[in-house]
Amino acid sequence: MTFFENDTDKQDFNLEIVLNSLNKSLEEDGTVVLEEYLRAFHELCRFFKLTGRLLSFVARDLESKIKCVECHLHSLNWRHYHTVESMINFEQTSGTTHQRGTHPSGCRMVLRLHWALEFILEFMDRIRVSGEEERISDITWDVYRQTLYNHHPWATRKLAQVAVYALPSKKQLIEVMCKHDYGAVLDLLAQVVQAGRPVHEATQRLFSSHDLLHIP
């Protein structure tokens, strides 16, 4: 079985871009800057795409959400979408926080990216501390059950269950998908998790304070 895309794509994913974007997305006062937040997700999509069909459902899900938020960033109301907080304030004032359809609200889409970030950070942390030959499939499914599983419909859960059990070992995953050497990747994973968790916590606080953690 072929786990990954062709060799020309192996250098596409760069953990340093994710790290830098996450660091830039959170300001000292706890403000989450949307443009940098989305830039981190753009790079993370490359990671999931490199698994080919195995975790491509994650990439497709992320990309659709990113595109929706970027539509708001490039709309006539772009000034209100500089940060997560300004987005929430604007959409609450305009009564659009729960808007669905062809033009869903920024709040609805960012909340779903927020859920995905929890999965990604926990996945990276578990990969970092696991043994070299530990089954990535078991780690991924366990993390998924604790995070995204709670927000996904039955069909997506079944797709995820099938996909994760075709994943390779930790060593193969890192060596094939990342441009850095093995040791450097483990160090970068730790830094990404350390940078990402405060971003996730800040976003969680913002959505919680506005009673928006359960937008359907």
**Is the pTM of the predicted complex or chain greater than 0.95?**
no
Q: How confident is residue 176, by pLDDT bands cut at 50, 70 and 90?
A: low
Report the percent of the chain where pLDDT is more than 90. 55
Cβ–Cβ under 8 Å, residues 164 and 137: yes
The tens digit of pLDDT for each residue in 92-120 reads 999 999 999 989 999 999 999 999 999 99
Long-range Cβ pairs for the range 172-177 (8 Å, 24+): 172/3, 173/127, 173/136, 174/127, 176/3, 176/4, 176/10, 176/50, 177/4, 177/10, 177/13, 177/47, 177/50, 177/51
Q: Does 24 fall in a domain?
A: yes
Q: Does 153 fall in a domain?
A: yes
Least confident of 10-19, 72-81, 107-116: 10-19
The tens digit of pLDDT for each residue in 38-75 reads 999 999 888 777 765 556 667 788 899 999 999 999 99
Q: Does 97 fall in a domain?
A: yes
Q: Does 64 fall in a domain?
A: yes
Q: Does 3 fall in a domain?
A: no
163 vs 3: CA distance, rounded Å: 11
Which structural domain, as residue segments, surrounds residue 152?
10-207
Q: Find the Cα–Cα–Cα–Cα dihedral 45, 50, 51, 53, rounded to 10°.
A: 80
Q: Does 216 fall in a domain?
A: no
Look at residue 178 and tell me whether its pLDDT is greater than 50: yes
Q: Does 1 fall in a domain?
A: no
Total domain count for the chain?
Answer: 1
Residues 6+ apart with CB under 8 A from 115: 147, 148, 151
Q: Residue 182's domain is classified under what CATH number?
A: 1.10.3520.10
Q: Does 2 fall in a domain?
A: no
The tokens 């981190």 sit on which residue? 40
| Tokens representing residue 56 in the block | 């491509």
* Greater model confidence, 55 or 125: 125
